[in-house]
Amino acid sequence: MTENRIDTASLQPLIHPKSIAVIGASAKPGKLGGVPLHQMDAYGYEGKLYPINPKGGEILGRPVYPDIGAVPGDVDMAIIAIPAGKVLAALEACVLKGVKVAVIFSSGFAEIGGDGIAAQERMSTIARQSGMRILGPNGLGVTNIAACVFATFSPLFLPRMAPDGCIGLVSQSGAFGGYVANLAAESGLSFSTWITTGNEADIDLADAIALQSEDPATRVILVYLEGARNGPKLVKALGMARDAGKPVIILKVGRTDAGAEAAASHTAALAGADDVYDAIFRQAGAYRAKDIGEWFGIARAYAISAPPRGREIGLITISGGVGVMMADEASSNGLEPTPLSDTAQRRLKELVPFAGTRNPVDVTGQMVADLSDFEKMVEIVVEDQRFGTLICFNAGVGRNEDKGFEIQHAWANIRTKYPDVHVAISGATTPAVQRAYEEIGCLVYTEPDLAVRIAAAMAECECRLNEPAVAAPSPAARQELPPGTLNEVRSSEVLRAAGVPAVGSRLVRTGDDAVAAAREIGFPVVLKIVSADILHKSDIGGVALNVGDEAAVAAAFDRCMEAATQNAPAALVDGVMVAPMVAADGVETILGVHLDPVFGPVVMFGLGGVLVEVLRDVAFRRAPFGIEEAHAMIAETMAAEILSGVRGAAPADIDALAQALSDLSRFAAAHADVLESIDVNPFVVGERGQGALALDAVVQCRG
Amino acid sequence: MTENRIDTASLQPLIHPKSIAVIGASAKPGKLGGVPLHQMDAYGYEGKLYPINPKGGEILGRPVYPDIGAVPGDVDMAIIAIPAGKVLAALEACVLKGVKVAVIFSSGFAEIGGDGIAAQERMSTIARQSGMRILGPNGLGVTNIAACVFATFSPLFLPRMAPDGCIGLVSQSGAFGGYVANLAAESGLSFSTWITTGNEADIDLADAIALQSEDPATRVILVYLEGARNGPKLVKALGMARDAGKPVIILKVGRTDAGAEAAASHTAALAGADDVYDAIFRQAGAYRAKDIGEWFGIARAYAISAPPRGREIGLITISGGVGVMMADEASSNGLEPTPLSDTAQRRLKELVPFAGTRNPVDVTGQMVADLSDFEKMVEIVVEDQRFGTLICFNAGVGRNEDKGFEIQHAWANIRTKYPDVHVAISGATTPAVQRAYEEIGCLVYTEPDLAVRIAAAMAECECRLNEPAVAAPSPAARQELPPGTLNEVRSSEVLRAAGVPAVGSRLVRTGDDAVAAAREIGFPVVLKIVSADILHKSDIGGVALNVGDEAAVAAAFDRCMEAATQNAPAALVDGVMVAPMVAADGVETILGVHLDPVFGPVVMFGLGGVLVEVLRDVAFRRAPFGIEEAHAMIAETMAAEILSGVRGAAPADIDALAQALSDLSRFAAAHADVLESIDVNPFVVGERGQGALALDAVVQCRG
């Protein structure tokens, strides 16, 4: 894993360059080297702009310099729009000139393999050695709308976007970045900064997220992620965004096997298990959107409105059935349509006798007539439960522009009185009415169910942002671990030393030692042959259960050894394990650790038993993590319900389980350099207060 | 349950009236009695139009008649737009006049309770006795765009909609119907017929679906459902649509508990368990949409394009990451992004060396330049796997109108060659380019993932339409069932007689009979006290397991009876059950029957054991159904994977299980009039060929 340092100071010239040179400048507005010049000219970039082209001449009234060395003043940013073969030389020249950041449009590097990879590695080296930051190659560049900086060849920023955009975009794909620019333009939205990272020879998506976390103009960060190269650095950047109170909304591709196969053929950069990304995002307080609509919808909602305060939602409708639909959508997405008090319901009935008053509140079609009563009803609703969110469905009524503006006016009055409530209007509107709503911070949706879903997603984002940031615990004390697979006795010892409760067994090589071990452990005991070469130990008679006294232990030891000799003469036998005969009373679970190629050691938790293979109901967390995170991890699985006690069963010792998961994670973090994997199966969780115990475990180390 | 006859002949005048009277006609275009006249006048309705109002005069150049009796000619349809108090008298007048169908706008009936309910019941009686059909009351009426029939007071059909709309809408909510009219107008779509059923005094949603099934102008039926009053009639109407080859796309509210609570306060008509609706729709070949966007999106897709042929999908993209996203979406929604052959992949590489060629095919940004090559690439893709669906992502490229039209032209060539392929374009477009695409039957989406999701939903709809319609099996032979709860011995007998394998037990009242029964059954046996009053029989010593010989049986009988006398002296004891001691080897499942208030007897299947309570993983089907449907039902649950054998376990006897489910359903159908519920738990499914067996069962009858 490469260094995970983030140096946002060196990244500032990427979005606030005081001077920009365009290497490969063109007078033609449609050319790679022409687009940035023409867009910046159109927007009125106030810094120095230096076209560079050996042909010389003048572009847009500016003298063209033959090379960057010839530029009279300092150059903060160099845009490089020349063929791949000439890029490295241009970069060297930039370094000599003292350029702070280079933005490379050119393609023909890592994405074409072979020489392209070598050239890109050279690029990375230049960045590392010189301190000059590099964005790209093979990217669509960067824009800062308010500063009129357009180091991009995307033509999608004209017509002019508003300078007060608050959406920060980070996209690993240039094409997708352009697509999002179009989405924004069509929604009347704008960006604070818009960054496409391309091949990420130097500046990567973590850098871009960190930069936007510190950028005061950015309210919400939209991330399009194909695959992270440096997991810990991404985690750090997400932490910076959380600390800055900025929601990070992530669209990550490669969710399914088909997607993963497509991804593998797309670029080798895509690695790391998809469900590990899920866990990382959750752990870092970021939100992974389900689809493009939700992803962009959340950003739009943050850009226009106050986010929901809490999860209580008031629903207002002029169609009872749609009220039901909105309540469905709310409760299946974690919002609470709290019923109104009897008093409030009585007051609503006084205004409209046949109104539905519980919540959803069905103001009925009659309300279309009298908007002063409508306003009173909304006030009764919001006052009664202090809802953080109000969503209203107007059906087709808003199609009539006069009525649409009247309703908008009623909502404007509501907003003045309750400015911190998240308000969304759904149903028919006209563009002019929609603009009026948006000006007062009300969202407008065509679909009422979508309005509820986006509010629910925002409430979840807010909840994650407001969770107290918990410092990761320190890694566990270091143990000496040999390479290869540790046998069950040694694996158990290692876990116990790490604080994870595991059966205390002994490895013995003689009958006398077996008897001595059994005496120490206490009867009855279990004996089992220990050999990595013998898989089905009980099948060959290599296991003796419930052995009750010393004579029986001696006999069982001989039988086990004999079974190995007879049935697996070639097997390497470590000896015989003597362990207490434990009644496995409790809930069987599985704990595991594996090394994710991007994020390092990751801990897994799931329910044990046959059904698990069918359910695939497991949770992951990046190591190390504390007890609270372990509890959150357990709560994500269906095991949580089983552990809390079903059909009258006593609740299990979830605290002991959480402690074990955290301890396992601290152990994994301390040994990330040598560890390959850990399987603890079963990990039996007893009744509350009775603890938990690993009955079997395998620790694998590298090499 | 009311009669489920559907008489579409009598419904024809609802959409093809030759003459229409408007009772409560108004010269004011915005009034209830004015909107229909003005809309029909604007569209140019060619039948006779008779304004009725005691005030007389003239409206839109037509003489106003004082009452319907005064109209000179026949009247097919009467639109009733007068206060509730006058509606019944008007209906009687309509019957006298020989009106064929009355459309009642007026509200103030069942929805206000009390007298309103009585008045509406009177309305139903008038319809039943006279044969005059009634739509409403409290509805927004009906339109037939091509016939220029607007028996609605919704103002949303102006500006004029196209006469060639193929979407049939049935909405139980008027407000929602108006909202959908606006959705259609904004998408440039139109309806064949648009029907809101209101309070359903006579014509209900099943009638409307049946009418549209027979209407040649309707290609796809969109249903908005709050709650069906007559389940069997709805099932019949859905069957008519399936037989006519028309997909029915349903939006049903009331999915969650919160929704159900909101629904209960909305209208008492909403009953029937939501998951039973799911099963009914599945069984009847209809499709339940997840949200409004999907619901309307599918209709739009049918209106514009050829539906997917099969589930194979070719994905084309100019952004590799979005290709991955589309592949994710395809495979998680049941579509198959089949990889291209090596030959095809080689040919693609020849055209664009750095293209992704597996499927998704990443044509890369370079392709933006050369569209003849693009066309060749698409042809290679579609030819290679004969894909039934092609979805392409253009990113922001389509924002440029010139390029947008060039790409559209390439697709027009493709469509000419492959007219039966479902083609969807996603990314940026302009309205003009979108219209051009739609004219050649290509769908246009902003979001590529949505394009894939809608294609997947259509493929599922097509699959359901193309399933061979299986006739429901005949109900089972009738058995005499006493009212109340049958004890386990009797319940077992009933099931066995119905063909469901169940443990054969005997009820005995003396020790001698117990011994005789045991002798017949064969040792070992189980004895259990039989009494509805004793719940925890083993706790009080009322159960004896594994009883091995005659003497032991006699002793066990005495112990069981003694235990009952001692511990539950007041209990009514039926006797003692003697049953074979069965080793419950196999997969534990649960079968059940309950009576749904809307759909009648419904069979449930799920996995047994503790986890089931957590998983809530059960499937339902309306009784009776055959073995194939039973297999489909099993396949819907996670039990299917367990039954097929996990972790090397032998596959279970799924055939025996399916047979039992079908037999249980035939029994339930035959006894729907007396049956309350059946619980078979556990129903143990042995290894394939070993059959299955109910170890315990309770049959409950009504009364």
Residue A257 CA to residue B500 CA, distance in Å, equals 41
Q: Are B539 and B600 in contact (CB under 8 A)?
A: no
pLDDT (average), residues B428-433: 94
pLDDT of residue A617: 83
Residue B689 is given by DSSP the state: T
Please judge whether A320 and B267 are an interchain contact, meaning their C-beta atoms are less than 8 angstroms apart: yes
Please judge whether A318 and B365 are an interchain contact, meaning their C-beta atoms are less than 8 angstroms apart: no
A473–chain B nearest CA distance, Å: 33
Q: Are A272 and B369 in contact (CB under 8 A)?
A: no
**Which tokens hold the place of A159?**
């017509």
Q: Is A478 part of a structural domain of the chain?
A: no
Q: Is A411 in the same domain as A360?
A: yes
A332 to chain B: nearest residue by CA? B256
Residues of A in contact with B428 (CB under 8 A): 156, 179, 182, 186
State pLDDT tens for residues B621-671. 999 999 999 999 999 998 899 899 877 789 999 999 999 999 999 999 999
Start-to-end Cα distance in chain B = 18
**Which tokens hold the place of B337?**
């992004």
pLDDT band at A267 (very low <50, low <70, confident <90, very high): very low
Please judge whether A360 and B262 are an interchain contact, meaning their C-beta atoms are less than 8 angstroms apart: yes
Please judge whether A399 and B427 are an interchain contact, meaning their C-beta atoms are less than 8 angstroms apart: no
Please judge whether A323 and B262 are an interchain contact, meaning their C-beta atoms are less than 8 angstroms apart: yes
State pLDDT tens for residues A520-531. 999 999 999 999
Binding-face residues of B in 103-122 toward A, CB within 8 A? 107, 111-112
Q: Is B270 in the same domain as B284?
A: yes
pTM, entire model: 0.94
Residues of B in contact with A289 (CB under 8 A): none
Residue A677 CA to residue A685 CA, distance in Å, equals 22
Q: Are B453 and B341 in contact (CB under 8 A)?
A: no
- Structure-model confidence comparison of residues A369 and A20, the more confident one: A20
**pLDDT higher than 70, residue B318:** yes
State pLDDT tens for residues A625-681. 999 999 999 999 988 998 998 777 899 999 999 999 999 999 999 999 999 999 999
Number of domains comprising chain B: 4
Percentage of residues of chain B with pLDDT beyond 90: 83
Helix, strand, coil tally for chain A in percent (to 5): 40, 20, 40
Q: Is B135 in the same domain as B239?
A: yes
Q: Does A674 touch chain B (CB under 8 A)?
A: no
State pLDDT tens for residues A178-224. 999 999 999 999 999 999 999 999 999 999 999 999 999 999 999 99
**pLDDT higher than 60, residue A260:** yes
Q: Is B329 in the same domain as B296?
A: no
Residues of A in contact with B270 (CB under 8 A): 324
Percentage of residues of chain A with pLDDT beyond 70: 97
Q: Is A460 in the same domain as A533?
A: no
pLDDT band at B265 (very low <50, low <70, confident <90, very high): low
Q: Is B685 part of a structural domain of the chain?
A: yes
State pLDDT tens for residues A139-174. 999 999 999 999 999 989 989 999 999 999 999 999
Residue A541 CA to residue B102 CA, distance in Å, equals 85
pLDDT of residue A353: 87
Tell me which amino acid residue A58 is: E
Q: Tell me the CATH number at A566.
A: 3.30.1490.20
**Which tokens hold the place of A298?**
């959340």
pLDDT of residue A406: 93
Q: Tell me the CATH number at B417.
A: 3.40.50.261
Q: Is B129 in the same domain as B28?
A: yes
Residue A598 CA to residue A65 CA, distance in Å, equals 44
pLDDT band at B358 (very low <50, low <70, confident <90, very high): very high
Contacts of A696 (CB under 8 A, 6+ apart): A488, A503, A680, A681, A682
Residues of A in contact with B292 (CB under 8 A): 325, 447-450
Q: What average pLDDT does chain A have?
A: 93
Question: Which of A24, A60, A63, A65 lies closest to A40 in space, CA to CA?
Answer: A60
Q: Is A380 in the same domain as A419?
A: yes
Q: Is A394 part of a structural domain of the chain?
A: yes
pLDDT of residue B645: 87
Rg (CA), chain B: 32
Percentage of residues of chain A with pLDDT beyond 90: 83
Q: Which of B302, B325, B354 is the last residue of a domain?
A: B302
Q: Which of A302, A334, A358 is the last residue of a domain?
A: A302
Q: Which of A267, A302, A337 is the last residue of a domain?
A: A302
Please judge whether B447 and A258 are an interchain contact, meaning their C-beta atoms are less than 8 angstroms apart: no
pLDDT (average), residues B309-336: 95
Coil, strand, or helix at residue A164? coil
pLDDT of residue A1: 39
Q: Which of A324, A342, A452, A615 to mutate to test the interface with B (most CBs of B within 10 A)?
A: A324
pLDDT band at B272 (very low <50, low <70, confident <90, very high): low
pLDDT of residue A264: 61
Domain of residue A213: give its range. Answer: 8-302
Residues of A in contact with B331 (CB under 8 A): 256-259
**pLDDT higher than 90, residue A136:** yes
pLDDT of residue B271: 43
Q: Does A267 touch chain B (CB under 8 A)?
A: yes
Q: Is A43 part of a structural domain of the chain?
A: yes
Q: Is A649 part of a structural domain of the chain?
A: yes
Q: Is A457 in the same domain as A516?
A: no
Rg (CA), chain A: 32
pLDDT of residue A272: 58
pLDDT of residue B270: 37
Q: Is B324 in the same domain as B393?
A: yes
B672–chain A nearest CA distance, Å: 30
State pLDDT tens for residues A108-125. 999 888 999 999 999 999
**pLDDT higher than 90, residue A518:** yes
pLDDT (average), residues B533-560: 91
Beta bridge partners of B677: B594, B700
Binding-face residues of B in 594-633 toward A, CB within 8 A? 610-611, 613-615
Q: Are A181 and A228 in contact (CB under 8 A)?
A: no
Residue A259 CA to residue A275 CA, distance in Å, equals 13
A226 to chain B: nearest residue by CA? B321
CA atoms within 13 A of residue B245's CA, in its CB half-sphere: 5
Q: Does B642 touch chain A (CB under 8 A)?
A: yes
Residues of A in contact with B173 (CB under 8 A): 319-322
Q: Are B689 and B497 in contact (CB under 8 A)?
A: no
pLDDT band at B585 (very low <50, low <70, confident <90, very high): confident
Q: Is A281 in the same domain as A138?
A: yes
pLDDT band at B366 (very low <50, low <70, confident <90, very high): low
Residues of B in contact with A194 (CB under 8 A): none
Q: Is A163 in the same domain as A247?
A: yes
Q: Is B456 in the same domain as B603?
A: no
Q: What average pLDDT does chain B have?
A: 93
Please judge whether A154 and B321 are an interchain contact, meaning their C-beta atoms are less than 8 angstroms apart: no
Residues of A in contact with B328 (CB under 8 A): 253-256, 258-259
Residues of B in contact with A315 (CB under 8 A): 262
pLDDT of residue B238: 97
A69–chain B nearest CA distance, Å: 32
Please judge whether B259 and A638 are an interchain contact, meaning their C-beta atoms are less than 8 angstroms apart: no
pLDDT (average), residues B339-352: 95
Beta bridge partners of B58: B63
Q: Which of A186, A191, A265, A296 to mutate to test the interface with B (most CBs of B within 10 A)?
A: A265
State pLDDT tens for residues A352-382. 888 899 999 999 876 677 788 899 999 999 9
Q: Count other C-beta atoms under 10 Å from residue A341's C-beta.
A: 12
Question: Which of A516, A492, A475 lies closest to A662 in space, CA to CA?
Answer: A475
Residue A27 CA to residue A60 CA, distance in Å, equals 7
Q: Does A685 touch chain B (CB under 8 A)?
A: no
Beta strands in B514-586 (DSSP E): 525-530, 543-547, 575-580
pLDDT of residue B614: 77
A434–chain B nearest CA distance, Å: 15
pLDDT of residue A268: 38
Residues of A in contact with B365 (CB under 8 A): 107, 174-175
Q: Does A256 touch chain B (CB under 8 A)?
A: yes
pLDDT of residue A369: 72
Please judge whether B358 and A291 are an interchain contact, meaning their C-beta atoms are less than 8 angstroms apart: no
pLDDT of residue B264: 61
Q: Are A657 and A553 in contact (CB under 8 A)?
A: no
Binding-face residues of B in 454-493 toward A, CB within 8 A? none
Please judge whether A327 and B261 are an interchain contact, meaning their C-beta atoms are less than 8 angstroms apart: yes
Residue A21 CA to residue A52 CA, distance in Å, equals 7
pLDDT of residue B269: 38
- Structure-model confidence comparison of residues A4 and B394, the more confident one: B394
**pLDDT higher than 60, residue B1:** no
Q: Is B521 part of a structural domain of the chain?
A: yes
pLDDT of residue A612: 67
- Among the partner-chain residues B107, B156, B647, the one whose CB lies closest to the CB of A396 is B156
Q: What is the 3-state secondary structure (H, E, C) of B81-114?
A: CCCHHHHHHHHHHHHHHCCCEEEECCCCCHHHCC
Q: Is A279 part of a structural domain of the chain?
A: yes
Residue A555 CA to residue A558 CA, distance in Å, equals 5
Q: Does A335 touch chain B (CB under 8 A)?
A: no
Contacts of B84 (CB under 8 A, 6+ apart): B106, B107, B108, B109, B116, B119, B137
A297–chain B nearest CA distance, Å: 12
Residue A338 CA to residue B263 CA, distance in Å, equals 15
pLDDT (average), residues B246-264: 83
Q: Is B567 part of a structural domain of the chain?
A: yes
Contacts by B84-93, CB closer than 8 A, 24 or more apart? B84/B108, B84/B109, B84/B116, B84/B119, B84/B137, B87/B119, B87/B123, B87/B137, B88/B119, B88/B122, B88/B123, B88/B126, B90/B23, B91/B123, B91/B126, B91/B132, B91/B134, B92/B126, B93/B67, B93/B68, B93/B69
B616 to chain A: nearest residue by CA? A638
pLDDT (average), residues B109-134: 95
Start-to-end Cα distance in chain A = 18
Q: CA geometry: angle at B342 spanning B336 and B344, to 5°?
A: 80
Residue B614 CA to residue B606 CA, distance in Å, equals 12
